[in-house]
Amino acid sequence: MTTLRIAHAEPRPGPRPGGGFCTRGYLVVLADDGGRAVPLWLPGAGFLATLLERPAAEVSTDVVPPELAVRLLDAAGAQVTGVDIDLTAAAADKLDPETAVARIRLAGPAGTRAVTADLSLGLALAVAAGAPVRLDGAVLDRVAVPVTGNDLLTPFEDRVPPQARRP
């Protein structure tokens, strides 16, 4: 398994001309340390985007559900040890909610457990818990895109569906 970081979860289409903001989904980009990125279009990644936007040092009382889940698990003596991305369609050459799910790994008094979740929620939980996101190396080889430079967003704007590009 290769550990990935969540580089972006950007709402699209974004600001409206003249003011306002429109969100039809999120362009999420995962990246490894070897110059590869995995772009995903996740319509329901609002909690993930909120968590990524929040400054690391900010202590917010306006928690989103994944943060509450982590607090509740902590009260139960359990921790999220990792979130693995698993393909549900073995031959898939891209990650999206139809082809992949999140397997949330728990450790606690009840032992170690895995809970399957929607990809967006699984990634949000990983951020809330500070847990690593992992992907099978062979799958990563298949779905990753080589990138050069630090811009991990612009090269993948074409992954935003056409209907989500118009504000």
Partner 1 sequence: MNAGGSDEAGFSGPADGDLVRLARDGDPAAFRLLVERHQPMVRARARPLGDPGDVDDIVQEAFLQAFLALDRLRDPDKFAGWLAGIVFNVGRRLRRRAPVTLVADWPEALHPAAADGQPSAEDLDRADAVRAAVAALPAGQRRAVALHYYADRPAGQVAATAGAARASLHKARRRLRSYLTEHRPDLVPDAGRTAMTTVRLARIERRIPPGPVPDRFPTHVMVLADDAGGRELPIWLLGRDSHRFAKEAGSAPAADQLTARLLAAAGTRVSAVEVGELGPEVTVARVELATPGGPGQVTTRLIDGLALAIAAGAPIRVAGPVLHRLGVPAGTDGDRSVPEQTARDLRLDQPVAGAPANLAFADGLGQWAVGGSFTENPVRSHWQDYTARAGDGAAVLTAAVPEPAGFAWLAQEIGADRYRGAVVSFRGRFRVGAGAGQAGLFVRVTGARDVRGPFTAAAAEADPRNHLVPVESDGDWAAHEVTVPIPDQAARIAFGVFLAGPGRIELRDLAFTRAG
- Which spans in the chain are helix H? 46-53, 65-75, 119-129, 137-143
Of positions 31, 69, 133, 164, contacts partner 1 by CB under 8 A: 69
Q: Which stretch binds partner 1 (CB under 8 A): 32-40, 45-53, 93-101, 154-162?
A: 45-53
What distance in Å separates the CA atoms of residue 74 and residue 132, rounded to the nearest whole number? 17
Q: How far is the CB of 116 from partner 1 (least distance, A)?
A: 9
Q: How far is the CB of 93 from partner 1 (least distance, A)?
A: 27
Sequence-distant (≥ 6) Cβ neighbours of residue 95 within 8 angstroms? 38, 40, 85, 87, 119, 143
Q: Which stretch binds partner 1 (CB under 8 A): 31-39, 88-96, 100-108, 156-164?
A: 100-108
Q: Which stretch binds partner 1 (CB under 8 A): 25-33, 61-69, 135-143, 156-164?
A: 61-69
* Spatial contact of 102 and 115, defined as CB atoms under 8 Å apart: no
What distance in Å separates the CA atoms of residue 122 and residue 70, rounded to the nearest whole number? 12
Of positions 8, 27, 31, 47, contacts partner 1 by CB under 8 A: 47
Of positions 3, 88, 113, 165, contacts partner 1 by CB under 8 A: 113
Sequence-distant (≥ 6) Cβ neighbours of residue 141 within 8 angstroms? none
Contact residues: partner 1, CB under 8 A: 11, 14-22, 44, 47, 49-50, 53-54, 60-66, 68-69, 71-73, 75-78, 104, 106, 108-110, 113-115, 117-118, 121, 125
